Amino acid sequence: RQPLNTISIAAQNVSMLLERDAVTPALLEEKVARILKQVERACRVMDRMRRFGRKTSSELKPVPLLEVARSARSLMHAVVDQSGIVIDVDIPEGTEALTEELEMEQVLVNLLQNARTAIVEAGAGRSSWVRIWSSSDRDDPDVIRLHVQDNGPGFAPEILNHALDAFFTTKAGDKGTGLGLSISNVILREHGGRLHIANAAEGGGLITLFLRRPGIARIIPIARQSDIP
């Protein structure tokens, strides 16, 4: 639904501009390009659904995490900004991971959407935030950690051990499929990494993506939730 929402917003913008007789060729070209980009992205999402659980054939390359995080923030800006949530990206320039750019963007968009939903349903105020930041793995120099943290209500204990299960969801039937985190986990595993869900020490949800640094061929071992600090 995320690329469809972006397409809808772009189409509504064009419609309003037409009503005001304010459409210029340059602006129309920009909106059309954005719509076509999201159509391509939607096709990739559907392809991911069809290949769910199978080994990916995506080519993994060194990807700048700062650019991917900023792109995901841009895609979610309209929805998140309406909820009074600030998305902060704190990743040093030049930080790279071995991954597939569009799939990593999809993972981050999923996590931002989940954080936004949790914050809104908890009735948080205008001081709500989500932070995307990176850190080195203190135990493994081949690993880069990418964190998505929010100041929402966090994860209930009964959710932590099942959040990565396919079709597990606490949302109403018309609001969630229970596949977002599960697909994100599959993507990370296919990229040789892993995903960990926890609550931050100061409260709120904290999801950590364990990614391989460029040039690292080995797979990051899968660990139980309780084994990862």
pLDDT of 202: 85
- Measured in whole angstroms, how far is the alpha carbon of residue 133 from the centre of its chain? 13
Asked if 132 and 138 count as a contact pair (C-beta separation under 8 A), the reply is no
For residue 176, pLDDT over 80 is answered with no
Helix (H, G, I), strand (E, B) or coil at 28: helix
pLDDT of 149: 95
* Structure-model confidence comparison of residues 144 and 78, the more confident one: 144
At 48-93, the pLDDT tens digits run 666 544 555 568 999 999 999 998 998 888 778 778 899 999 999 9
Q: At what angle do helices 101-121 and 25-50 cross, to 10 degrees?
A: 90
φ, ψ of residue 28 in degrees (nearest 5): -65, -40
Q: Per-residue pLDDT averaged across 149-174, rounded?
A: 68
For residue 224, pLDDT over 60 is answered with no
pTM equals: 0.69
Cα separations in angstroms, 28 against 7, 17, 40, 105, 169: 13, 10, 18, 26, 39
- Amino acid identity, residue 97? A
pLDDT of 49: 63
pLDDT of 57: 54
* Structure-model confidence comparison of residues 222 and 191, the more confident one: 191
Cα separations in angstroms, 229 against 137, 138, 182: 11, 10, 21
Sequence-ordered alpha helix ranges (H) in the chain: 2-19, 25-50, 65-82, 101-121, 157-160, 180-190
At 10-47, the pLDDT tens digits run 889 889 888 888 888 888 899 899 899 888 888 877 77
At 78-132, the pLDDT tens digits run 778 778 899 999 999 999 999 998 889 989 998 998 889 888 888 755 588 999 9
For residue 178, pLDDT over 50 is answered with no
